[in-house]
A and B are shown apart, each in its own frame.
Chain A
Amino acid sequence: QSVLTQPPSVSAAPGQKVTISCSGSSSNIGNNYVSWYQQFPGTAPKLLIYENNKRPSGIPDRFSGSKSGTSATLGITGLQTGDEADYYCITCDRSLNVWVFGGGTKVTVL
Chain B
Amino acid sequence: EVQLVESGGGLVQPGGSLRLCCAASGFSFSNFWMHWVRQAPGKGLEWVANIEGDGRRMYYVDSVQGRFTISRDNAKNSLYLQMNSLTAEDTAIYYCAKDSNWSLDSWGQGTLVTVPS
Contact = CB atoms under 8 A, between A and B. Distances in A.
B104 interface: yes
Interface of B: 35, 37, 44-47, 50, 59-61, 95, 100-110
Interface in A17-47: 32-33, 35, 37, 39, 43-47
A68 interface: no
Instruction: Classify the secondary structure of B's interface with A.
Output: strand
Interface residues of A, number: 28
Contact of B104 (A47, A97, A100): A47
Contacts of A104: 44-45
A101 B105 contact: no
Contact of B109 (A44, A54, A56, A100): A44
Given A88-B45, A97-B59, A104-B45, A33 B103 contact: yes
Contact of B44 (A50, A91, A99, A101): A101
